[in-house]
A and B are shown apart, each in its own frame.
Chain A
Amino acid sequence: MDTCMLGDFLGSHQERLRSAIATLAGRYDYVSVLGSDSSGVAFRVSPQERRVADSSWSERGFVFRVQQAGRIVEHAFNVLPSGDLAAAVAARIDSQLADGPAARVYPPLPDEPAKAGFFATVGQHPLTADPALVLDRLAAARAGLMEQSPEIVFSSANAEFVQVRKIFISPRRDLAQAYVWGQAYLITVAKRGDDTRENYQPFSGRKGLELLDELPSAVAALAKETVELLSAEKPVPGEYEIIADPDVTGLIAHEAFGHGVEMDMFVKGRALAPDYLGKSVASPIVDMYDGAAAADQCGSFLFDDEGTFGTTTKIIDQGILVAGISDLQSAASLGTRPTGNGRRQAFDHKTYARMTNTYIAPGKDTLEAMVASIKRGYLLQKMSSGMEDPKNWGIQLVLTIGREIVDGKLTGRMVSPVVCSGYVPELLSSISMISAAVELGGSGACGKGYKEFAKVSSGGPYIKARMRLG
């Protein structure tokens, strides 16, 4: 096991930052600084080509945040000035406070005392590994895919590992953390005549190179599934009984009541959820959670990008909407306690209320019983994308695979792609069975709209519900 360390860069600047914060605290009502020094590496093996590059999640820089007379202003940069840091920051902050349009006034941002550090361990640290060995392992998995069928015309194997290193300093808080997350994908394309189908298998976790151990056992099933997709038909539009696999359950949780309870949307009046707090929004068998402390996956951390400790938030309790997730600013505005969901894409991006690890809790049913209970429907797998509409509670999911179920049995027939749409409360209220085991996945990224990508995970058990498919 290797331990993740803070590194020389942040370590060497901590004292200077503390000094600047102490100076600026005498000038502004609130001041804090987040420092990031995250580095990662991305590997790709494709036909006749191997590539290695630093991960696009790599970042190094600082963002100072100030509140003065209720206004909130930030200055982000990645070149530390050689002279007086506090004076340089103040000059940039003051020019923004002096100019610009009429601004909202927020209640004071909290700054409760805390001093803590979190330095995770990882099986095999990915940033000290020999890249050639990583590429060889990916190449073996890719070659395995190509050997499965002549109809597979393309495959690639990709892996990415990032070591996140952050410090947060305010007059009363001094925090540090370092941990690793990893993700990998096997991607396949199969062709038959004019028909082209694409498929993938993701892998993820707060893992190092040990993540690659999971690839070989997925090769045969992925290849078989991709070739099966060549025989897939288009779904006949209509409403069906569906079973969502854990990935799709996670996507439903994420889109339906993950984005819908991000409390900066409450502040803007962009969500229906505030009107439904304490009311039924789902079947009584549904519990749903989010939180950096709620699971050990890609959305886990000690503290968020505003220095708030990660927590576990129960969003839905037996079908009743009970809480949302917040950043500091929205919590201050709404008079609630921040939940540790204030996150940035990087130091040079704004903080928003964002999800971390979002999932539906387990039930007592079995997948076999769910399949047996369906007269005509589909088992939905392999999420492609999703989008929420927190104001009107619409939801869109795009999935690669729908496996047909008729008279309680999987028929072996497949539909693809599957666009699922519906009204969130109807969908969640239709959940009638939930299986016992929860699985979370954290590959890819979550956007706020079409930007501000954050590393999250989502998941749950198998669930049975009703949805419109097309």
Chain B
Amino acid sequence: MMLETIKDIIVKSGRASEYRISQRRKSGLEWYFVKDKLDSARDVETTLYDVTVYVDGLAAADGADGRTRGECTVLVQPGSAAAEISAIIGRALDTAAGMKNAWFPLPKPSAWQPIQPASRFDGLTPLQAMEAVRAALYRHDGLDGASINSLEIFLSCQRQRLVTSTGVDVAWSSWVGFSEFVVNAGKRGQDEVELYADLRFADLDEAQLSEATRRQLAAARDRLVAVPTPALSGLPLLLAGKLAADVYEYWFENAQAMAVYEKRAAFGPGDDVAAGGGDGDLLNLRAVPTLAGSPLGAPYDLTGFALKPVDLIRDNQVVGLVAASKYAHYLKLPATGAIQLFELGGGRTLQAELRQRDHLEVLTFSDFFVDSTTGDFGGEIRLGYLVRDGRRQPVYGGAVTGNLVENRGRLLLSSEREGTPMALAPTCCLLPAVSVTPGG
């Protein structure tokens, strides 16, 4: 009803060349625990409308064909009266009319029917779903003396509908789950340690949920016996799971048409991402709209483009870019839609073999960063493992820094892959060129 009202106001204004209306309904529960007791609980019911209006014009200097397109995105709050909506839309149209960006097309309806991964949350009541997540996350609480200090669970069902002036009218729903948990090991006081982790999920995979907290509880026990990171030189860095995916994301971020258009990207179509050198594994990168268990994907982008997997890098050569309609048009590339997730092919070496080599693995950073523009990465070590001469010593403190340009062509990838919210990608990787600041 509200969506129709907004649409009518835009159409009746007669000023919009195109429009896009997105309706997002969220219904969620949130539980906050201290130890194993519920500290507080919340429920959230919201509906939001994002509206983008486009106004075309002519300017000989802009756009290959002289056409221009201005756009403005506004939020329309549910329950707004028609007069308020008209004022908001009017302001957006005025703003869009004042902009003279190069023209670009909006996607038209597609015969392609994207498939949303199924979720085992379907069919459960919100309370049943929350209780199942809680039970799974607490399954290993107290393991060998390590315990959950505090834990938060957010679970919502989100329904989205997208209507555009080009005829797109699509709807989909998804489960969005998030948990943040802190675990302790040791005795209260100076000796007690804590580790933080979070988890995104879209499926009720109880084994995966309980394994996430079990791993963290085991890590907290290792942190108790860790020693300050010593001075190290020449040892490669091993990263696994989400940290490895953060590294892989550098190539995904640089394979975005917007980054190439703005001349920020580290490489472009046809480039060799290894710059011809190195004995590392070949990179094979593919953009994918959704991944099983991930709440971050979507079958359509914000403009209604029906998303399909797209190859980006094949054997180190850039063969495609993630290109929303606008930047595809600007760069004269095939449009792919704004795909959010990726898959990276496995390497030549088993994870176990990579782990047998001398290396420093960092399991938890204070805040791991990877700069997709400069390639810089690093962070302070909260818990790592120094593997040398077959011995594995937990370490903490100090920091790791490096640059992915200096590591290009030299990255070693495990042949096994695992899913993270962002990617299906090699379980771990070995980065040879890093610098380690000792701790303690």
Interface residues of B in 411-427 (CB under 8 A from A): none
Shortest CB distance A365–B (Å): 28
Known: A189-B373, A389-B366. A419 touches B379 (CB 8 A): yes
A442-470 CB contacts (< 8 Å) to partner B: 449-451, 468-470
| Shortest beta-carbon distance from B374 to chain A in Å | 5
Q: Does A84 contact B (CB under 8 A)?
A: no
B42 touches A419 (CB 8 A): no
Which one of B33-41, B293-301, B348-356 is at the interface?
B33-41
With beta carbons under 8 angstroms apart, the residue of A75, A92, A100, A469 that contacts B38 is A100
Q: Are A54 and B198 in contact (CB under 8 A)?
A: no
Tell me the smallest distance from the CB of A105 to a CB of chain B, in Å.
9
- Whether B196 pairs with A419 at a CB distance below 8 angstroms is no
A469, B198: Cβ atoms under 8 Å?
no
Q: Give residues of chain B (331-383) contacting chain A, Cβ–Cβ below 8 Å.
A: 365-367, 369, 371, 373-376, 378-380, 382
By the criterion CB–CB under 8 Å, are B40 and A350 in contact? yes
Whether A392 and B193, one on each chain, are in contact in the complex, defined by CB atoms closer than 8 angstroms, is yes
Contact A102/B397 with A189-B373, A196-B374, A348-B46 known, Cβ cut-off 8 Å: no
Q: What per-residue 1/0 map shows which CB atoms of A171-204 lie under 8 Å from chain B?
A: 0000000000000000001000011111000000
Contact A73 B40 (CB under 8 A): yes
B186 to chain A, nearest CB (A): 10
Q: Is the CB of B198 within 8 A of A104?
A: no
Q: Using CB atoms, name the residue of chain B closest to A93.
A: B43
A55 to chain B, nearest CB (A): 9
How long is the Cα–Cα vector from A44 to B36 in the complex, in angstroms? Answer: 46
Secondary structure of the A contact surface, majority rule:
strand
A104 touching B37 by the CB < 8 A rule? yes
Q: Which residues does chain B contribute within 8 Å of A53, judged by CB atoms?
A: 72-74
Task: Find chain A residues with CB under 8 A from B365 CB.
Answer: 396
Cα distance A387–B381 in the bound complex, in angstroms: 12
- B329: min CB distance to chain A, Å: 12
Contact check, A77 vs B194: say whether CB atoms are below 8 A apart: no
Which one of B47, B70, B182, B401 lies within 8 Å of A268 (CB-CB)?
B182
Tell me the A122-179 residues at the B interface (CB within 8 Å): 130-132, 135, 153-154, 156
Interface size class of B (residues with CB under 8 A): 35 or more
A270 to B374: give the CA distance in the assembly, Å: 35
Stretch at the interface among B109-117, B161-169, B310-318, B431-439: B431-439
**B75 near A58: Cβ-Cβ < 8 Å:** yes
Does chain B have a CB within 8 A of A99? Answer: yes
Closest to A76 in B: B44
Task: Kindly state the separation between the CA atoms of A415 and B36 in the bound complex, as whole angstroms.
Answer: 47
Whether B264 pairs with A154 at a CB distance below 8 angstroms is yes
The answer to whether B40 and A470 touch across the interface, beta carbons within 8 angstroms, is: no
CB of A419 within 8 A of CB of B95, answer no
CB distance from B246 to the nearest CB of A (A): 12
A267 touches B34 (CB 8 A): yes
Residues 98-131 (chain A) with a chain B CB within 8 angstroms: 99-104, 130-131
Which residues of chain A are near B79, meaning CB under 8 Å?
A: 78-80
Q: Is the C-beta of B241 less than 8 angstroms from some C-beta in chain A?
A: no
The interface residues of chain B lying within 8 Å CB-to-CB of A451 are 178, 180
- Do residues B398 and A468 form an inter-chain contact, with CB atoms below 8 A? yes
Task: Say yes or no: A421 contacts B371, CB within 8 Å.
Answer: no
Which residues 194-248 of A have a CB within 8 angstroms of B? 194-198, 234, 237-238
Asked if A421 and B397 make an inter-chain contact with CB atoms under 8 angstroms apart, the answer reads yes
Contact B149 A132 (CB under 8 A): no
Query: With A96-B43, A198-B374 known to touch, is A101 a contact of B369 (CB < 8 Å)?
Result: no
Query: Known contacts A198-B371, A350-B42; is A132 also within 8 Å of B98 by CB?
Result: yes
Cβ–Cβ < 8 Å partners of A99 in chain B: 127
Measured CB to CB, the nearest residue on chain A to B98 is: A132
Closest to B33 in A: A101
- CB-defined interface of B163-188 with A at 8 Å, one 1/0 digit per residue? 00000000000000010101010001
Q: List 23 A-B contacts (CB under 8 A).
A: A51-B71, A52-B99, A60-B77, A72-B40, A73-B40, A76-B46, A92-B43, A96-B41, A104-B38, A131-B72, A154-B264, A194-B405, A196-B266, A198-B371, A270-B149, A270-B150, A270-B182, A388-B366, A394-B380, A396-B399, A417-B371, A421-B380, A469-B437
Chain A residues at the B interface, C-beta cutoff of 8 Å: 9, 39, 46-54, 58, 60-61, 71-80, 92, 96, 99-104, 130-132, 135, 153-154, 156, 189, 194-198, 234, 237-238, 267-270, 275, 329, 348, 350, 384-389, 391-392, 394-396, 398, 417, 419, 421, 449-451, 468-470
Interface residues of B, Cβ cutoff 8 Å to A: 30-34, 36-48, 62, 70-75, 77-79, 94-96, 98-102, 127, 130-131, 134, 149-150, 178, 180, 182, 184, 188-189, 192-194, 196, 198, 261-264, 266, 275, 365-367, 369, 371, 373-376, 378-380, 382, 397-401, 405, 435-439
